[in-house]
């Protein structure tokens, strides 16, 4: 089996429940927290998870932390690596991020910040260019390539099928995976279409659900 990418849309956020996109960087609702616990119970591959990437939004970070809590209890606990290329596509206030220092204060060692994945400007408003389809497609491509490059280093004879979890947003995941109709806390599993990892587009193919 190849490298497996488990993509997850965040659980229900306050903005989803209230249909209010003006809430800045909303957290999860009580239902959203329950959705995470349900996903945690259903997910049977925690031992194979070698990395978790998340958009730097509170609702995705909390979804990753709760839904995959088992990976933080390993002898070498994982951290959630923040990646700004995984952020949602629209410019509403709910998609404007919290500054990294504030996220670090709130989530502590549960998150990992790598400068090449998250610019110092994270948290600023999106420009008109940022929400153009070609710009969104470009960052989805960059994210796939970056995650593929990271994942290639994880594939060994001892661990031929490591899993990487990607926690993001419904609109963005449609571009990242080229699949549609993502529900809250929905998980779909993918492999890179080109098993040799040479495809310039780093396309994904959906596989059997986890």
pLDDT in tens, 45-93: 999 999 999 999 999 999 999 999 999 988 888 999 999 999 999 999 9
Distances (CA, A) of 81 to 15, 175, 178: 24, 20, 23
Please state, in angstroms and rounded to a whole number, the distance separating the CA atoms of residues 7 and 188.
Answer: 5
Mean of pLDDT values over 123-141: 85
pLDDT at 128 over 70: no
What integer pLDDT is reported at residue 73 of this predicted model? 84
Q: What share of the chain is helix, strand, coil (3-state, %, to 5)?
A: 40, 15, 45
Q: What is the pTM for the complete model shown?
A: 0.96
Rounded to the nearest 5 degrees, what angle is found at the Cα of 78, between the Cα atoms of 24 and 96? 15
Residue-wise pLDDT tens digits, 173-196 = 999 999 999 999 999 999 999 999
Name beta bridge partners: 13: 28
């Amino acid at each position: 089996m190849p490298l497996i990418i488990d993509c997850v849309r965040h659980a229900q956020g306050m903005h989803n429940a209230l249909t209010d996109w003006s809430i800045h960087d909303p957290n999860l609702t009580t239902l959203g927290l329950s959705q995470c616990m349900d996903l945690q119970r259903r997910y049977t591959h925690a031992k194979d998870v070698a990395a978790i990437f998340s958009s730097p939004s509170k609702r995705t970070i909390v979804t990753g932390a709760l839904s995959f809590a088992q990976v933080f209890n390993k002898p070498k606990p994982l951290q959630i690596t923040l990646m700004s290329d995984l952020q949602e596509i629209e410019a509403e206030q709910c998609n404007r991020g919290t500054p990294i220092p504030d996220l670090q204060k709130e989530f502590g060692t549960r998150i990992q910040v790598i400068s090449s994945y998250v610019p110092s400007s994270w948290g600023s408003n999106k420009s008109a260019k940022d929400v153009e389809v070609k710009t969104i497609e470009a960052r989805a491509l960059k994210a796939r390539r970056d995650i593929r490059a990271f994942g290639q280093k994880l594939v060994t004879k001892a661990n031929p099928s490591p899993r990487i979890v990607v926690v993001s947003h419904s609109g963005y995941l449609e571009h990242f995976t080229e699949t549609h109709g993502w529900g809250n806390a929905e998980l779909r599993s993918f492999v890179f279409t080109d098993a040799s990892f040479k495809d310039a587009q780093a396309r994904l193919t959906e596989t059997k659900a986890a």
